[in-house]
Amino acid sequence: MKHLIALAITAGASPLLAQDISLQLPIDCTLGKTCFIQQFTDRDPGPEAKDFTCGTLSYDGHKGTDFALATHEDRLNGVDVLAAADGRVRGVRDGMPDLGLDNTSSDEIEGRDCGNGVVIDHGNGWETQYCHMAQGSVRVLDGDTVTAGTPLGQVGFSGRTQFPHLHLSVRHNGAVVDPFAPNTDSCADSELSLWAKDIAYQPSAILDLGLSDAVPEYDAIKQGLPEADIARNEPLVLWGYAYGAQSGDVMSFLITGPHGEIFRHDVTVDRQQAQYFRAGGLKAPKGGWPTGRYTGLVSVSREGRLVDRRVTQAEIHG
């Protein structure tokens, strides 16, 4: 097994970096639909954490960008990790199990927080590192030449991680660089980005939602739930799974059936949470639900402004 090269990492980017690298999206997905940026590089020099907008999508000392999948089912279906720019592979690791932080021994994670991954040298002091890839999926070898978009492997659940995602680190001369704002050491508006195409900042989003006959277990939601088969005499529950919660956010639920609206409810989030889920619903009426199609709408609002909304549907048969 080859090992990722150990590198001295210094937090914070050098100001006014020359932009001699341009990055493509390092994952084969559609941002905001099939994948989401849940954590950015920490721009706060102290014990607090702030992303490049001075928002809360980071944690203390985070040295990269996390491109997350909604559920483990998405991970198991296979999502490619892609080279963000042309370069030469200068380190690989494979063989660590896809068990995440909670189910991997401390001995196995020690010094290998990245899990299975790849380091690419792009020249002129630039390099990128790709972490938490799936066991047995790494497709490149040390010394290989790659071009932007070359598949490196697949998103996994290896190393120090608690959700399926690709962690991308960008470094220049060994120092961590935030690709969203490489010319500043603090969180602030920046006109410079290393991305070849603009990537919209999404402060929160709904990862998944569904209609079911009971409030599902949180672990089951994170794994990925199949479409529910709801009987006429069973409760009807609408649930939403989201990221980036701030205290005061409102998750709203609306269920409509063959004869119009049957349920509406708002839940106010009481604390900041990286990921969370809420649910609401009601028991079946006397005689059971009318047969037909039912639609669930989940939305998230912040300070009265809509952040995200998604729709799901289910059929109730006679």
More confident residue, 318 or 317: 317
Mean pLDDT of the chain: 92
Q: Classify domain 1-202 by CATH architecture.
A: Distorted Sandwich (2.70)
Q: Which of 1-15, 60-74, 118-132, 190-204 has the lowest mean pLDDT?
A: 1-15
Report the candidate in 56, 15, 5, 26 with the shortest Cα–Cα distance to residue 170.
Answer: 26
- Domain locations along the chain: 1-202, 205-316
pLDDT digits 0-9 by tens, 130-143:
999 999 999 999 99
Q: Are 151 and 82 in contact (CB under 8 A)?
A: yes
Identify the band that residue 185 occupies on the pLDDT scale cut at 50, 70 and 90: confident
pLDDT beyond 50 at 182: yes
Q: How far apart are CA 67 and CA 25, in angstroms?
A: 10
Whether CATH 2.60.40.2550 fits 205-316: yes
Q: Are strands 126-133 and 145-146 parallel, antiparallel or unpaired?
A: unpaired
Q: Are strands 175-176 and 165-172 parallel, antiparallel or unpaired?
A: antiparallel
Q: How far apart are CA 306 and CA 303, in angstroms?
A: 9
Half-sphere exposure (CA, 13 Å, Cβ side) for 152? Answer: 41
pLDDT beyond 80 at 14: no
Q: How far apart are CA 144 and CA 146, in angstroms?
A: 6
Q: Is the whole model's pTM more than 0.85, yes or no? A: yes
User: What CA–CA distances, in Å, run from 71 to 36, 226, 227?
Assistant: 11, 11, 14
